[in-house]
Amino acid sequence: MKRAKRIGGFKVEIVESVSGGMVWFTARLPDYPSAKVVAASLQEAHERLTQKWDEIKGAYASAGIKLPKPPRNRGNRRALQVIRWLGSRPPLSADVL
């Protein structure tokens, strides 16, 4: 799987496969499953996916619906919050252990 330049803020995944003695590239937006194209070259796959995304944007605009946004990477905020909370508690006494 290859990574390519983002389209509309979404990550782009490109998978190379061999079928019928030819190499095919499948490009898709993993966070938006309906945007998927297949092409004979890597550049062509990226261009077709860009065109497909433009069509999707046009469909949303004509319907008057807000365009979907890529999911935000929240990192490990919750884990750090728990660690800070545990660190702020008083230590356990020896008789509890």
Question: pLDDT tens digits, the chain, 97 residues: what are they?
Answer: 666 788 888 889 989 999 888 899 999 998 888 899 999 998 999 999 999 999 999 999 999 999 888 887 777 888 888 888 888 888 777 776 6
Taking a C-beta distance cutoff of 8 angstroms, is the pair 13, 27 a contact?
yes
Residue type, 44: E
Residues 15, 1: Cα–Cα separation, whole Å: 5
Neighbours of 81 (CB within 10 A): 10
The pTM score is 0.69
What pLDDT, on a 0 to 100 scale, did the predictor assign at position 91? 76
Q: Quick one: tokens of 80?
A: 């750090």
Main-chain dihedrals φ then ψ at residue 76, nearest 5 degrees: -110, 40
